[in-house]
């Protein structure tokens, strides 16, 4: 589905600092069939089975957090040696005990005035602190064409989290480049992002982008008020069939009271990328603060909490 001319113009304007926040269709209005759409949810039938779950669960050994991540088949991209951290490296993924869940969890930290994007000097408008799977992960943690993954995790956005009209991504499904370096992996297939609208409200968004050749731009699968998420643990189950006519199913519930915040299912989405070595998940905080940091005054240091990552493949 291609975006309207109005939406395309609004998105282009948002790329320059000083412009008004992007104006998005009001929450509850979605671009596809909507949260009540029927069809194949990607959930296996009784005859189908899932592989064993590849879990990443905080164990309380904070100093060995990166070892735990790597040993589970995951990887990390952190700004541990960016800026002032160069002389005194700072570990940006840590563990803490969470009283609400009654267990250890992962803390993903970003400093607005210092942290960068993978230490690349030519990238001056964004920063990231993420974990992911990649080409070194077990086969069960990366999807090939026609395969289905079920992803589960918990996350907690902090009270008062700051956002702008630009992106603050907390989850992506993205392609892995091939050995020739020519796969269509520049854009993620599915993204969870949090953003400020032109009316000043904050919104949680699920975005789909098709292959580069399709020129779809951002297609908003689901949008809802961010206030229901802030300061609350939520649980996510995401089931995705990765194919040119793939299916996407997600449910997000609030841990405290069981309220369903997001429930969405849609078939017929292009959830594959030409030439990719596989599709993998990413989690954390990846945010844009404007060219040369011109929107930094709208943001702050943030600590996002994550827990109980799990990846299963339909076999």
Strands 279-288 and 126-132: antiparallel
pLDDT in tens, the chain (315 residues): 444 444 443 444 444 565 444 444 444 445 443 333 334 444 556 568 999 999 999 999 999 999 999 999 999 999 999 999 999 999 999 999 999 999 999 999 999 999 999 999 999 999 999 999 999 999 999 999 999 999 999 999 999 999 999 999 999 999 999 999 999 999 999 999 999 999 999 999 999 999 999 999 999 999 999 999 999 999 999 999 999 999 999 999 999 999 999 999 999 999 999 999 999 999 999 999 999 899 999 999 999 999 999 999 997
Q: Are 151 and 238 in contact, with CB atoms under 8 Å apart?
A: yes
The Cβ of residue 100 has, within 10 Å, a number of other Cβ atoms equal to 12
Which residues lie closer than 8 Å to 109 by C-beta, 6 or more apart?
Answer: 92, 93, 94, 129, 301, 302, 303
Handedness of CA 65, 69, 71, 77 (dihedral sign): negative
pLDDT tens digits for range 118-152: 999 999 999 999 999 999 999 999 999 999 999 99
**In whole angstroms, what is the distance from residue 245 CA to residue 40 CA?**
12
Q: Are 195 and 206 in contact, with CB atoms under 8 Å apart?
A: no
**In whole angstroms, what is the distance from residue 260 CA to residue 254 CA?**
6
Which residues lie closer than 8 Å to 187 by C-beta, 6 or more apart?
Answer: 209, 212
307 beta partners:
154
Q: Are 230 and 158 in contact, with CB atoms under 8 Å apart?
A: yes
**In whole angstroms, what is the distance from residue 104 CA to residue 57 CA?**
8
Triad 132, 170, 91: Cα angle to 5°: 60
**In whole angstroms, what is the distance from residue 264 CA to residue 239 CA?**
11
Residue ranges of domains in the chain: 5-313
Reading the block at residue 72, the tokens are 């589970």
pLDDT tens digits for range 30-83: 544 333 333 444 455 656 899 999 999 999 999 999 999 999 999 999 999 999
**In whole angstroms, what is the distance from residue 3 CA to residue 62 CA?**
45
**In whole angstroms, what is the distance from residue 295 CA to residue 56 CA?**
34
CATH, domain range 5-313: 2.60.120.200
Question: Which H helix or E strand runs over 11?
Answer: helix 5-13
Residue with tokens 């779809």, as numbered in its chain:
216
């Amino acid at each position: 589905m291609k975006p309207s001319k109005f939406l395309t113009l609004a998105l282009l304007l948002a790329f320059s600092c000083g412009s008004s926040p992007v104006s998005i269709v009001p929450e509850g209005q979605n671009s596809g069939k909507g949260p009540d759409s029927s069809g194949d949810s990607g959930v296996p039938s009784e005859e189908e089975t899932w592989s064993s779950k590849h879990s990443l669960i905080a164990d309380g050994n904070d100093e060995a957090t990166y070892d735990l991540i790597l040993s589970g088949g995951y990887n990390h991209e952190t700004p541990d040696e960016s800026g002032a951290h160069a002389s005194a490296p700072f570990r940006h993924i840590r563990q803490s005990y969470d009283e609400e869940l009654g267990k250890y969890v992962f803390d993903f930290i970003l400093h607005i005035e210092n942290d960068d994007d993978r230490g690349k000097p030519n990238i001056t408008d964004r920063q990231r602190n993420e974990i992911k799977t990649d080409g070194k992960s077990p086969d069960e943690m990366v999807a090939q064409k026609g395969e289905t993954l079920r992803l589960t995790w918990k996350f907690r956005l902090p009270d008062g989290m700051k956002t702008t009209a630009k992106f603050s991504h907390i989850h992506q499904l993205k392609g892995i480049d091939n050995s020739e370096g020519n796969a269509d992996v520049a854009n993620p297939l599915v993204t969870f992002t949090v953003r400020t609208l032109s009316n000043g409200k904050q919104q949680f968004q699920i975005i789909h982008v098709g292959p580069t050749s399709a020129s779809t731009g951002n297609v908003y699968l689901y949008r809802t008020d961010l206030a229901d998420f802030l300061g609350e643990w939520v649980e996510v189950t995401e089931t995705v069939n990765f194919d040119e006519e793939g299916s996407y199913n997600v449910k997000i519930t609030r841990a405290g009271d069981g309220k369903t915040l997001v429930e969405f299912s849609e078939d017929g989405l292009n959830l594959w990328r030409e030439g990719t070595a596989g599709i993998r998940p990413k989690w954390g905080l990846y945010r844009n603060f404007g060219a040369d940091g011109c929107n930094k005054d709208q943001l702050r240091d943030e600590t996002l909490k994550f827990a109980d990552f799990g990846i299963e493949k339909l076999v």
